[in-house]
Amino acid sequence: MIGAELIPKEDIPKYKLTRASEDHSMELLDKLRGALRLGNEFKSKATITFQTLDGPKCVETTVWTLTEDALQIKNGVVLPLGSLLDIDY
C-alpha cells in the first residue's frame, strides 16, 4: 500500500486502530488464509497494511490465527479485519 509507514510489530499497541474507509476483509479473505498457512506451516512472513488514526501503517510478520473478525500475530496482537487495507506475501 503506497504511503503506509512500515513499523515494528511490537509498536502496533501504540496506535489506535480504526476501520478502513472501505471494508476490504471479504476481498482479502483468500490472501488472509494464504498468509495463515504460510505462517503456520512455513513460518513465512506477510506484509499487513492496516488503518490507524495516524494513517496507514504496515508490518512484516507471521499470521498465527484467523477468525471471522480478526487476525492474530505474535505476542497476542490482534488486528480487526475491518482495519485491514492490504496483505501481501
CATH of residue 35: 2.30.30
CA 35 to CA 1: how far, in whole Å?
A: 17
- CA–CA distance from 51 to each of 19, 32, 38, 44 (Å)? 6, 16, 23, 23
The answer to whether the pTM exceeds 0.85 is: yes
One pLDDT digit (tens) per residue for the chain, 89 residues: 468 999 999 999 999 999 999 988 888 999 999 999 999 899 899 999 999 999 999 999 999 999 999 999 988 999 999 999 999 99
Give the total number of structural domains in the chain.
1
Q: Domain of residue 59: give its range.
A: 5-88
